[in-house]
Structure 1
Amino acid sequence: MAKLILTHEVTGLGAPGDVVDVKDGYARNFLLPRGLATGWSKGAEKQIAGIRKARKAREIASLDEAKAVADRLRSNPVTVAVKAGESGRLFGAVTTTHIAEAVAAAGGPTIDKRKVEIGQPIKSVGSYTVQVRLHDDVSAQIDVRVVPQA
C-alpha cells in the first residue's frame, strides 16, 4: 500500500489535501503519472495545509448555498457554440472548461471546471446532460446544448 497526498479531486477516492492509502499499482500507474497525487512524507504537512486552504477558498461554503446554486443551474440550460462541420461533427470536443465558461457567460454562478463531470465525450452538435458537483452532498444535472458556431 502506498500513502499519498491528493493534489486534485479523484472521484471515489477523495479531495485535494486528503491523505489516502492506495495500492502500489494504482499509485504508480494512474495517480502519480497524471499529477493527481504526490508522495506522502512527514514534511508534507505544510503542503497539505496549503492545498486545504486553497480548496476552502474555491468551495461553496454551506449546504443551503449549494442547493440554491444547484436550483439555478437546473433551471437555466447552457448553450455552447463551437466549430462544427457540415454533418454536425465537432472539430475537437466540448471540455469542462467550455461548460464552466458558458455557465458564467449565461449569468450563472462561477463554477470550478474540475467539478464538472462529462460522462461521454461531447463530439457532435446536440443536447447533453452534464453533472456538476457543488458540495459533498449536492450535485446538479445541467442541460448543455451544443450548437455550431456562426
Structure 2
Amino acid sequence: MKMKENGILWWILAIAGCGMIFYATSSPGFTGSSTSSLLQSILAVFGTNDIVLVIADLLNFILRKLGHIVAFGVLAVLFCLALNKSKRPFLYAWIITTLYAFFDEFHQSLVPNRTSSIMDVGLDSLGAVIALVLLRKYKK
C-alpha cells in the first residue's frame, strides 16, 4: 500500500500520537522533577556533589526540550501524511500541530504538579517546522 492510499491509517496514528502526548502530560512520572530525580540517581555513580547535580539538571532540561521538539515533530509528520490529499498539507499540519501544542500546555496548567509555558508551545511549533521541512526534502 502506498502512503497516499493510507489516509485513514495516518489519521489514526496522528490521533494516537495526540493521545500519547496527552497521557504523558497527565502523568506524574513525566514531570520535570521526576525526570531530574531519575537522572540524579543514574549519575549518582559519579558521586553526589554539586557538579553532578548541576549536570543532572542540565541534562534534564536538554532532554525535556528535545522531547518537545521530537514528539511534536513526529506529530506534525503524521498530520501531514494524513492531510496528503489536501492542497497545503505542510501548512495545515503545522497549524494543527501548533494548535494541539497550545491545547496541551493549557491541559498541563490544569494538572497538579505541572506547569505550562508558552515557550514550550514555541519549541513544539519549531519541532513541527523542522520535521516538516525534512519531510518535504525527503519527498522531493
What is the TM-score when the length of structure 1 is the normalising length? 0.25
Question: Quick check: which one's strand share is greater?
Answer: 1
Greater RCO (CA < 8 Å, at least 6 residues apart): 2
